Chain A
Amino acid sequence: MHQPTTQPRPSIYYPYQVFQPWLPSQHGAQPRQKVVIVGSGPAGMVTALELARHGVASVVLSAELQFSQGSRAIVFTRRSMEILQQVGVAERMTEGGLPWRFGNSYYRGQRVFRMEAPHDADDRFFPMLNVQQQYMEEYLHDACAASPLIEMRWGNKVLGVTQREGSAEVLVDTPEGEYTLESDWVVDASGGRSAIRTAMNLQMEGASYEGFFVIADIRIDLPLPTERLAFFDPEWNPGNTILMHREPHGIWRVDYQLPEGETPEEALRPESLKARIDAQLAMIGHAGTPWEMDWSSVYSARTLTLPDFVHGSVIFTGDAAHLLPIFGVRGANTAFQDAQSLGWHLAHVVKGLAGPRLLANHSAERVGAAREIIAESGKSVRFMTPPTRGFRLLRDAVLSLSLQHAFVRPLYHWRTSRPHEYTHSMLNSRGDDNALFTEGPAHGAPPRNIRLAADDYLLDHLGGGFDLLYFTEAGEVPETIQAVVRQARERGVALRVSAVGHDGPVAGADQSFADADGHFRARYGVRASGAAYLLRPDQHVCARWLTLDAHRLQAALTAALPQ
């Protein structure tokens, strides 16, 4: 029998709620489910919320009775916020979060690099927002609880998954014993230590790096702005790296690399933590400032991914599908993109609007994203934790040169998580005018946000299905195009039409944006009436035309939902 702890987790700032376990004896015979999601972290809950937006019900199983132990993921990117906006929790994230856009790298007491993330007036969200993961999970959970299509089952631990023809049987343990749950689809969002992945004996490709980092969250009052701080090769920890981030509620995250040969157990001893945190505070000029420990953990850098996320009826997502390094805020920020992608792909398959090829596309796109992240973040990891003597020499040479020579300083910048562009997706339209545009988001790219008015942005008005942006100065969308839209909707495809460029309502459009100053059209590279963009339900572009016609719109919709 699975007995998750009923004691609230210790925290000096977050009041943990202990949920009641879901017990099979209190519920009737279990019907076959469409989707069972294993894991109630960011990947699991965003998948459930996205599925629900598309009208697909799911059951979410959580082995625990509480949210994440410790702050874990604390930095969320603009694209993550745009995804969280789609599932309705962006406002709460913003209310409690600390926005930032500057990062500082120090060597020998000198600031040798300052990263400035661009913040465009057209963007609603800051490049980065710091929020502790427990709060993020609480906001997502509240959104799940508000959805009649999502059933949360706390204290339900998955013991195994048996694949059948066209479905899977999930064996679940609870505080009163086991039960089985049959489901068309099982989404494994159970995290990096996925037991399902291990039981299925699936091998990940990539590399694991030696070298451990301690993460410690402390409460301390430091008169410093919300900016990332990185210290290389400090006197108190020679050859190693220290990172600091401000979190809400008076908490600071201190990450530091362990000296070679030290075990995680040694590093997590209270006296070891205290000595090192005191040394770090002394180095930044705040020796003796009182502080209190909240939570500590250890991690190592890994760049691993499954080469396919879909295995029969089981789909892996988030950390269950890949293990990505923390440098560049790759964990939860990648999981949100995975979950958003999985949500709409799976929903359209469940609803019969597309065939299994759509799920194969999801896997191809997100494996591609993981591989891109691995290639990019591998550079950061090799700089932060040099894997060989050669890499260490090069890193040390760059540190030394950076004091006097600007040309090496950009090597300090670890690329930050960004949305993957599905440039070569099979969903992209072949016969459109993508190559003829000189501006605007291209095939597979996420949309560009537009500030429409005070506290009013384009992305506030998109999502939940396909979006057709139709650029016209006329008061009507051509009837032939309206006919294609009607046919798609009659099939059950959610497709919203937004007209851009006409002041006033546009017949055949669900909403219209006047774009009096032409700024919207300029950002999308549109020079004449009749142009259009088709966005997928994850808002990425799958077709764009200088002059849209009904035939090519139909072709693009057919390509985006392969049978």
Chain B
Amino acid sequence: MNTPATLPIEGLETVYDALAQAIDQAGPDKTELFLVKLALLNAQALADAGLFQQHLQAALQDL
């Protein structure tokens, strides 16, 4: 079994800043739409509906 590739901390920091700025760029009215589009693009890149389900459950924790 392949060990899933992980994002090194520098990469995670880049994603952190970029996502924050993109949410601001989308604006309050379009934030949800933007995030759903992003999730669908990520799901397509992930190519694994089961793994996506796991991510959904993880993200629903501790809201």
**A, B: real partners:** yes
Contact B40 A401 (CB under 8 A): yes
Residues of B within 8 A of A405 (CB): 41, 44
In B27-63, the 8 Å CB interface with A consists of: 32-33, 36-37, 39-41, 44
A396 at the interface (CB under 8 A from B): yes
Q: Residue A407 contacts which of B36, B39, B44 (CB distance < 8 angstroms)?
A: B44
Q: Using an 8 Å CB-CB cutoff, how does the interface string of A393-411 with B read, 1 for contact, 0 for none?
A: 1101110110001011000
Which B residues touch A407, using CB under 8 A? 44
Judge whether A393 and B41 touch: CB under 8 Å.
no
Do residues A397 and B44 form an inter-chain contact, with CB atoms below 8 A? Answer: no
CB neighbours of B33 from chain A (8 A): 393, 396-397, 400
| CA of A396 to CA of B29, assembled, Å | 13
Instruction: Indicate if the CB atoms of B32 and A398 lie closer than 8 Å.
Output: no
Q: Contacts of B44 on A, CB cut-off 8 Å?
A: 405, 407
Q: Is the CB of A394 within 8 A of B41?
A: no
Query: How far is B42's CA from A397's CA once the two chains are assembled, in angstroms?
Result: 13
Q: Which residues of B contact A400 (CB under 8 A)?
A: 33, 37
Complex Cα spacing A554 to B59, Å: 60
Among residues of B, the one whose C-beta sits closest to the C-beta of A395 is B36
Rounded to whole Å, the gap between the CB of A94 and the closest CB of chain B is 43
How many A-B pairs have beta carbons closer than 8 Å: the answer is 22
Considering only residues 361-401 of chain A, those with a C-beta below 8 Å from chain B are 393-394, 396-398, 400-401
Give chain A nearest CB distance to B3 CB in angstroms. 27
Question: How many of chain B's residues have a CB under 8 angstroms from any CB in A?
Answer: 8
Contacts of A397 in B (CB 8 A): 33, 36-37, 39-40
Q: What distance in Å separates the Cβ of A399 from its nearest Cβ neighbour in chain B? A: 10
Write the chain B residue with the least CB distance to A405.
Answer: B41
Nearest CB in chain B to that of A407: its residue: B44
Q: How far is the CB of A524 from chain B (nearest CB, A)?
A: 36
Give the Cβ gap from A517 to chain B, nearest Cβ, in Å.
Answer: 43
Residue picked from B36, B41, B44, most chain A C-beta under 10 Å = B36
| Contact digits for B1-26, partner A, Cβ 8 Å, 1 yes 0 no | 00000000000000000000000000
Q: Which of A191-213 contact B (CB under 8 A)?
A: none
With A and B bound together, what is the CA distance between A396 and B36 in angstroms? Answer: 9
Q: Is B32's CB under 8 angstroms from A401's CB?
A: no
CA distance A393 to B35 in the complex (A): 10
CB-nearest residue of chain B relative to A400? B37
Tell me, in angstroms, the Cα distance from A397 to B37 when the chains sit together: 5
Determine how close the nearest CB of chain A comes to the CB of B19; give it in whole angstroms. 16
Tell me the complex Cα distance, A407–B39, Å.
13
A393–B40 CB distance below 8 A: no
Shortest distance in angstroms between A502's beta carbon and chain B's nearest beta carbon? 51
B36, closest chain A residue (CB): A397
A408 to B44, CA, bound (A): 9
Question: How far in angstroms is the closest Cβ of chain B from A403?
Answer: 11
Cα–Cα, bound, A397→B32 (Å): 9
**A396, B32: Cα distance in complex, Å:** 10
Return chain A residues, CB-CB under 8 Å to B36: 393-394, 396-397
User: In the complex the two chains form, is B32's CB within 8 Å of A408's CB?
Assistant: no
Residue of A nearest to B38 (CB): A397
Chain A residue contacts of B32, Cβ below 8 A: 393
- Distance between A233 CB and nearest chain B CB, rounded to angstroms: 12
CA distance A400 to B36 in the complex (A): 10
User: Which residues of B sit under 8 angstroms from A398, Cβ to Cβ?
Assistant: 40
Closest A residue to B44 using CB positions: A407
- Rounded to whole angstroms, the CA-CA distance of A361 and B36 in the bound complex is 45
Chain B residues closer than 8 Å to A396, beta-carbon distance: 33, 36
Bound form: Cα–Cα A394–B35 in Å: 10
Q: Which residues of A contact B40 (CB under 8 A)?
A: 394, 397-398, 401, 408
A-B contact pairs, 22 of them (CB 8 A): A393-B32, A393-B33, A393-B36, A394-B36, A394-B40, A396-B33, A396-B36, A397-B33, A397-B36, A397-B37, A397-B39, A397-B40, A398-B40, A400-B33, A400-B37, A401-B37, A401-B40, A401-B41, A405-B41, A405-B44, A407-B44, A408-B40
Which residues of B does A touch, CB under 8 Å?
32-33, 36-37, 39-41, 44
Extra pairs beyond A393-B32, A393-B36 (14, CB < 8 Å): A394-B36, A396-B33, A396-B36, A397-B33, A397-B36, A397-B37, A397-B40, A400-B37, A401-B37, A401-B41, A405-B41, A405-B44, A407-B44, A408-B40
Name the 7 nearest CB pairs between A and B, nearest first.
Answer: A397-B36, A397-B37, A393-B36, A407-B44, A401-B37, A393-B32, A396-B33
